[in-house]
Amino acid sequence: MTTARQSPRARNARGEGAKLKLDIIAAAGRLLDATGNPDAVTLRAVAREIGVAAPSIYAHFPDREAIVQALIEEGYAEAVADITAARDSETDPVRQLEAGVRAYLRFALDNPARYTVMLGRPGSHDPEPSRGVTDPATISFQLLVTAINECVREGRSRSTDPHRSATAIMVAIHGYALMKPQRPTFPWPPEDGFITYLVATLAGIE
Q: Which residues contribute to the site for DNA (CB under 7 A)?
A: 8, 11-20, 42-45, 52-56, 58-59, 63-64
164 binds, among DNA, a copy of itself, none (CB under 5 to 8 A by kind): a copy of itself
Q: Cβ distance 25 to 33 under 8 Å? A: no
Residue 180: burial class (beta carbons within 10 Å; 0-12, 13-18, 19+): middle
Closest CA to 84 of 98, 71, 103: 103
Q: Cβ distance 33 to 113 under 8 Å? A: yes
Closest CA to 80 of 103, 60, 53: 103
Q: Is 1 in the site for a copy of itself (CB under 8 A)?
A: no
Query: Alpha-carbon distance 188 to 185, whole Å?
Result: 8
- In the complex, minimum distance from the CB of residue 75 to DNA, in angstroms, rounded to a whole number: 20
Tell me which residues in 167-186 interact with a copy of itself (CB under 8 A).
Answer: 167-168, 170-176, 178-179, 182-183, 185-186
> In the complex with a copy of itself, which residue's Cβ is closer, 60 or 178?
178
> In the complex with a copy of itself, which residue's Cβ is closer, 51 or 181?
181
- Cβ-based neighbour number of residue 167 at 10 Å: 15
Closest CA to 95 of 150, 167, 21: 150
Tell me which residues in 33-92 interact with a copy of itself (CB under 8 A).
Answer: 36-37, 39
Q: Is 198 in the site for a copy of itself (CB under 8 A)?
A: yes
Both ends of the chain: CA-CA distance in Å? 49
- In the complex, minimum distance from the CB of residue 76 to a copy of itself, in angstroms, rounded to a whole number: 15
> In the complex with a copy of itself, which residue's Cβ is closer, 14 or 186?
186
Binding site for a copy of itself (CB under 8 A): 36-37, 39, 116, 119-120, 122, 125-126, 129, 137, 141, 161, 163-164, 167-168, 170-176, 178-179, 182-183, 185-189, 194, 197-198, 201-202
